[in-house]
Amino acid sequence: MKLFYSDTFVLPLPEGHRFPIAKYAMLRERVSAEGLGELIVPEAADDRDILRAHTADYLHRIHIGAMSDREMRQIGFPWSPQLVERSRRSVGATIAACRTALSGDGISASLAGGTHHAFADHGEGYCVFNDSVIAARVMQAEGRVRRVVIIDCDVHQGNGIAAILAGDETIFSFSIHGAKNYPFHKERSNLDIALEDGTGDAAYLAALERGLDQAIEQSCADLAIYLAGADPYEDDRLGRLKVTKTGLLERDRMVLETCRSAGIPVAITMAGGYARNIADTVDIHARTLRLAKAIGGW
């Protein structure tokens, strides 16, 4: 299984910043130690790729750092050239994972990605560029697919994905998320399932099964991009749900086996994860990748 990583393009953050940036390097080290796949540094997404989802004005301003303090607070990171390069590489990783999954491997992953809060003209929620939409549209532009389904299991609604894709009938967006969690103003995906605080394994998996069946049937997709967020976890600082590690592994199994049964290749991204103990986030992501390797390509 080919796995694409970008954590070596270091994102400088001030001491005490709340974003758990160390999880990406820790995950790569875990993947390497367990032999879960071939680790590859992706090419950076170029301007033509990024402009498939973002405005030229936003791309120009983020590139040269002509962003207001308010805009950067909305993103949640300080601006730096390293932020731009890291973001481009992260998008490149999702593009590469999609190409690999479609080339006959059936499944591939980015060890980052899932930056679903980025809108066409601004970023927010630790998201600069919307890798899922960019990658889906690159695959379409290259003639590899006609239709894509984005299966977003991050605990926060994929508001940027929904907003960018409004009116685009070729990419189906499915988001299962906390009803009262960030973002507090929700956009409209093709399919949204909003869960109450404290939702546990049984209710979560039942809702996911219903949503998956509907998304697969309605999307008629040639490719799935799966945001395997670790943040529905019961001890996630920002999650507010009560899904256990066992429940999250069953979630992954349900998504991957449903796509395999439908003959839909899958590109996996890690999306969110803010567990009180960062090792739990890394463990959840590693379990996702271990399962993906065990299921194998198709």
Burial class (CB in 10 A: 0-12, 13-18, 19+), 119: buried
Give the architecture-level CATH label for domain 2-295. 3-Layer(aba) Sandwich (3.40)
Mean pLDDT of the chain: 97
Confidence of residue 38 (pLDDT cuts 50, 70, 90): very high
Tell me the pLDDT tens digit for each residue of 199-230: 999 999 999 999 999 999 999 999 999 999 99
Tell me the pLDDT tens digit for each residue of 257-290: 999 999 999 999 999 999 999 999 999 999 999 9
Contact indicator for 154, 132 with CB cutoff of 8 Å:
no
Q: In one letter, which amino acid is 151?
A: I
Give yes or no for residue 297 having a pLDDT over 90. no
How many whole angstroms separate alpha carbon 177 and alpha carbon 5?
Answer: 26
**Which sign, positive or negative, has the C-alpha torsion 228, 264, 257, 194?**
positive
- State how far the alpha carbon of 11 is from the alpha carbons of 89, 110, 113, 276, in Å: 12, 17, 14, 21
Tell me the pLDDT tens digit for each residue of 17-29: 999 999 999 999 9
Using DSSP, state whether 192 is helix, strand or coil: strand
Q: What percent of the chain clears pLDDT 90, i.e. is strictly above it?
A: 99
How many whole angstroms separate alpha carbon 86 and alpha carbon 73?
Answer: 18
Tell me the pLDDT tens digit for each residue of 149-197: 999 999 999 999 999 999 999 999 999 999 999 999 999 999 999 999 9
Confidence of residue 48 (pLDDT cuts 50, 70, 90): very high
DSSP assigned state of 79: -
Long-range residue pairs from 202-209, CB within 8 A, at least 24 positions apart, any chain = 204/176, 204/232, 204/241, 204/243, 204/247, 204/251, 205/247, 205/250, 205/251, 205/254, 207/176, 208/153, 208/176, 208/251, 208/254, 208/255, 209/254
